[in-house]
Amino acid sequence: MEMNHTTKIQIHGIVQGVGFRPFVYKTAIKHSLTGYVLNCGRGVEIMVTGSDSEIERFLSDLQTKSTPLSKIYSIKTTRVPGKDFRDFMIKTSKKHSGAGSSIIPPDTGICDDCLQELFDPTNRRYLYPFTVCTNCGPRYTTVYDLPYDRGKTPMIDFPLCDACNIEYRSPEDRRYHAQPTCCPACGPKIRLIASKN
């Protein structure tokens, strides 16, 4: 049986608002690692406990299998004294430390999965213009401040409905921790008002 170790990983790049934390979560579970991930001012911080070989594979997955919109500029790993975590979790972001800061990702066009939902009459987001997921949608134009969290975007005025909340909290869902997610029941509405001639 291999000994467990704890490693702290600091990642700098386009890793906020692009589904990176959920990706880290799923990858950690896949490699039976415990610990946490959180957004911090300059990127994300990850702490993992597990065997060296699994941590090695985890690091390799982070660099080769990340989400479409993320971009890693640097990874720093530090061995720290062993810590026992009960599970792996996405923790609340650290308070923004001011200067420096991470990179805000650009807005991107709708992805194929969302497009399919948009035109599926049986889908609850059928023809809903603000359909987004972790892999697509607005970023730059909605970020008031970092770390990127829903509370720091205009979406703070649109609390999630139950159905959206379930998606937001399900690690297997495409909208897990997708900050701008919403639906016709809870999101912004749009109206076309005819001008008078």
CB of 128 to Zn ion, least distance (A): 9
Nearer to Zn ion, 41 or 180 (CB): 180
Stretch that binds Zn ion, among 9-17, 53-61, 62-70, 112-120 (CB under 5 A): 112-120
How many residues bind Zn ion, per CB under 5 A? 10
Q: Does 115 bind Zn ion (CB under 5 A)?
A: no
Nearer to Zn ion, 9 or 164 (CB): 164
Stretch (H or E) spanning 21: helix 20-30
Q: Nearest 10 degrees: CA dihedral of 65, 67, 70, 73?
A: -10
DSSP secondary-structure letter at 104?
Answer: P
Choose which of 44, 136, 146, 155 interacts with Zn ion (CB under 5 A). 136
Q: Does 164 bind Zn ion (CB under 5 A)?
A: yes
Stretch that binds Zn ion, among 17-25, 42-50, 68-76, 108-116 (CB under 5 A): 108-116
3-state SS assignment for residue 88: strand
Q: How far apart are CA 189 and CA 103, in angstroms?
A: 30
Q: Does 114 bind Zn ion (CB under 5 A)?
A: yes
> Among the residues of 43-181, which ranges form H helices?
52-64, 112-118, 162-169
Nearer to Zn ion, 136 or 143 (CB): 136
3-state SS assignment for residue 94: coil
Nearer to Zn ion, 135 or 153 (CB): 135
The tokens of 69 are what? Answer: 């919109």
Q: Does 161 bind Zn ion (CB under 5 A)?
A: yes
β-strand partners of 50: 5
Choose which of 111, 143, 155, 178 interacts with Zn ion (CB under 5 A). 111
| Helix-strand-coil split of the chain, %, nearest 5 | 25, 20, 55
| Residue reference for tokens 């608002």 | 17
Q: Does 155 bind Zn ion (CB under 5 A)?
A: no
Binding residues vs Zn ion (CB under 5 A): 111, 114, 133, 135-136, 161, 164, 183, 185-186
